[in-house]
Structure 1
Amino acid sequence: MNTDLETRTVRKLIWRILPFVMLLYFVSFLDRVNVGFAALTMNKDLGLTPTMFGLGGGIFFLGYFLFEVPSNLILHKVGARMWIARVMVTWGLVSVASAFVTGEKSFYVLRFLLGVAEAGFFPGIILYLSQWFPARQRALAAAAFMAAAPLSTAIGSPISGALMQMPVMGGLKDWQWLFIIEAVPAIVLGFVVLKALTDSPAKAAWLADDEKAWLTATLREESRGRESEGGHVAGALGALRDPRVWVMAMIYFGTSAGLYTLGLWAPLIIRQFGFSSLETGALNAIPSVLAVIGMVLWARRSDRSGERTWHVVIPCVAACAGLAWAGFADTALSVVLALVVVNVGISAAKAPLWAMPSTFLSGAGAAAGIAMINSIGNLGGFVGPFAIGWLKTLTGGYAAGLFVVAASLALSAMLTLFVGRRGYRVTPMAR
């Protein structure tokens, strides 16, 4: 049962840490996927075919993949405050530079560099949360953080749609202003991070002494408990060799393919029904609003029950079905409803999934393992968008690509059942 001290401490963690890291991820995700709105006019201006756009949109994840593990190990050494600040300022500058691409090759280069710049951000925050939140609250903390992705789509889509109606100003077109304006918050927040983040509970002046002592003791006891169980991994090399890390990376691959298919292609899929940029932005926001609600409620259910496996499997199956539905849909209403199912499913799966690695990884092992899961898994963000573009070029429609991404989510569900036989449970939260 929760004590008053535990309740008070966790409440402070929630209000001090989660809103800020959500804001950071909101800006991060917006800068990753705003290219989907830029494409409404950019592709014609630059002469980009669907295949070129799909490749450029996905090549972000190649840079991300190559630099993810090194970046997270550096974060583990120097602390989240300095490294996250560096990441944000760098990716903001690259996002500004994206406004000045002139063709296919420069588009590829800037997308690759954006991935390099942002490498380490997401797994770094996941690692950071595991160093602050006890296991019983970890899925809910991860859900709150990751809810920023659908929130970014929900809020950012109307904003991006409005920016795409700007007239030419200063010799720059609407899609160029989109990149520049939406990059500024990343640069500003990079400097705010230096003041706002605290590297560890031991350095948290905003916690009372008894709260700090309780939190430190709880996290230490959980770590000792994991170390006493078989299969615990604390070293970086051990984590990179652990089969569970690789299986979880493949699970995350499917969810990432789905997430970035939505981020990069949903505006274009909706736009094909004749909507304006502003209307497209508004319709694209609807599934994301519902995804935020579903994500938080599902994570709370997972934390309260202590169960993780089926809390990943069920949403993956739902998202798979939604993508298949979207492939068959022939009206705007049915497409939007299908995207609601996909958004809710993908978002709901992520928090329970990211609560799993901390059950068998710690220290440098957690830094390396979480980064490896994220880097390999995010290659789905390359394969999904590229498959959509390539198959659209071949077939003239989106259905074939959507079916491929749906299959990747079906595989994620099956792999989760396989790895879940090891019994990913935590002590349920007190009701």
Structure 2
Amino acid sequence: MIDRNNIGFAFPGMESDLGIGATYAGLAGGIFAIGYLFLQVPGGLWAERWSAKKLIGVALIAWGIFAAATGFIQNVTQLLIVRFMIGFVEGCILPAIVLLLKRWFPLDERARANGIWMLSIPFAAMIMSPICGFILTYATWREMFWIEGAFPIIFCIIWMLCITDHPKDAKWLSEEERNYLVNAAAKEESKIATKGMSVMEALKTRNVIILIAIWFLTQTGFAGYSIWLPTMMKDLTGSSQMLVGLLTSVPWFFAMIMLTLNSRHSDKTGERRFHMIVPAVTSALCLLASTLLASSGNVTAAVIALICCGGLIQCYYGIWWAIPTTFLTADVLAVTLGVINAVGNLGGFFGPWLFGYFTTVTGSSLGGMVFLVAASIVAPLLLLFLKKDATKAPSATAVPVSKEA
């Protein structure tokens, strides 16, 4: 997350040194999502047939190398290539992670497990903001990329030492704990009615098609917000890089709290649908309110609305990644999730790019903001068209879903 979005802090320096305007800056932010497409499906296959643990380890090293390489670019073309490659190597990670979580956590704990994993996104964004602000206070944007590119390589060592692909391989678990997790996973698999379906059959089901559309629109709004948040804060407050970094970290702090509370409450009540719709729509309306308040000169209220948007924009992500695991078996889960995430993350390209484009064309961020708000509102409303069982959280001993799901 740090290496994905720290470019937002580098845009002012890049514009000065390389002559990159808002449109190209948005393109650089969005082309990450194009690279992100290519290893989603192969990554799912490798995670299932080879090793999710080793796949993520390799990706972390490559990720750090390309992230640091951003500090060496000399023109727009090189920037676009490096950003594409960062997305390319990251693309295999999500399907591998979701597969690991399915193996390790029973269904009635999975929204919380996904929520804890998803905490990494707002947590990284929260610490990224002051770190980037601090570095840019005393160094250049190039040095920022060099320093932060080392983070994933260092983390790879911890990952390889601590993680196993299956609970049965975890020597630090007791035999009773290993048997419980293995049996719970086997029982869940036996209850899923899509068992025996191929990946292509799974991709043709209504639920999967709707999930692709939802994720596309969700990522359109989220990518546009996260990439441009530092710039929006800078424009609103006119503050120093250090203060902008601190202000930008506040939405992600609240996002961590809301993500945890929302995931826990969803698992407790067994309800998924409105635990996603309510925060998503509210977040979009806060984003629109921030723009309107800024245009009227109410800077303080605009900043508060922008913070509220960030606090809610991710609080249903833990629930989101629990939904596909209720109607997809492990043999098709990773690959199908790869397709959902790959096609859906095209929104991560269009969001930043169109925001930058409309900002350039209109001379105001209002046009781009309206587009992001519309996408962010439509996305959760599509949940109403999912089959009802897919948005409920049954116990790990019962996972009912019809084959027409």
Name the TM tier (shorter chain): over 0.9
Q: Which region of structure 1 is more displaced relative to structure 2, 265-274 or 335-344?
A: 335-344
The residue type paired with residue 11 of structure 2 is: A
- CA deviations 1:308-332 (Å, max 9, x no partner) are 1111111111122112112212143
Query: Following superposition of structure 1 onto structure 2, how do residues 138-153 of structure 1 map, counting pairs within 5 Å?
Result: 138-153=110-125
- CA deviations 1:163-199 (Å, max 9, x no partner) are 11124xxxxxx10011110110111222332221101
What is the total number of aligned residue pairs between the two structures? 392
The residue type paired with residue 315 of structure 2 is: A
> CA contact under 8 A between 1:309 and 1:420: conserved in structure 2?
no
The residue type paired with residue 35 of structure 1 is: I
- Please state if 1:31 is matched with 2:6: no
TM-score by length of 1: 0.88
Shift in alpha-carbon separation, 1:95–1:215, aligned structure 2, 3 A: same
> CA contact under 8 A between 1:234 and 1:364: conserved in structure 2?
no
Query: Following superposition of structure 1 onto structure 2, how do residues 71-110 of structure 1 map, counting pairs within 5 Å?
Result: 71-110=43-82
- Please state if 1:341 is matched with 2:308: yes
Query: Following superposition of structure 1 onto structure 2, how do residues 96-135 of structure 1 map, counting pairs within 5 Å?
Result: 96-135=68-107
* Deviation, structure 1 residue 66: 2.2
> CA contact under 8 A between 1:257 and 1:383: conserved in structure 2?
yes
- Please state if 1:154 is matched with 2:126: yes
- CA deviations 1:362-382 (Å, max 9, x no partner) are 223101111111112211111
- Please state if 1:256 is matched with 2:232: no
> CA contact under 8 A between 2:326 and 2:390: conserved in structure 1?
no
Q: Secondary structure at the match of 1:397?
A: coil
Aligned to 1:223: 189
* CA-based RMSD: 1.6
TM-score by length of 2: 0.93
> CA contact under 8 A between 2:218 and 2:376: conserved in structure 1?
yes
- Please state if 1:298 is matched with 2:268: no
Aligned to 1:68: 40
Aligned to 2:329: 362
Query: Following superposition of structure 1 onto structure 2, how do residues 316-395 of structure 1 map, counting pairs within 5 Å?
Result: 316-330=280-294, 331-395=298-362
The residue type paired with residue 114 of structure 2 is: A
* Deviation, structure 1 residue 232: 5.0
> CA contact under 8 A between 1:320 and 1:406: conserved in structure 2?
yes
The residue type paired with residue 225 of structure 1 is: K
Whole-Å separation in 1 of the counterparts to 2:209 and 2:25 = 29
Aligned to 2:208: 245
* Deviation, structure 1 residue 44: 1.7
> CA contact under 8 A between 1:139 and 1:300: conserved in structure 2?
yes
Identity of aligned residues (%): 31
Whole-Å separation in 2 of the counterparts to 1:126 and 1:417 = 24
Whole-Å separation in 1 of the counterparts to 2:212 and 2:249 = 28
Whole-Å separation in 2 of the counterparts to 1:126 and 1:40 = 36
> CA contact under 8 A between 1:30 and 1:156: conserved in structure 2?
yes
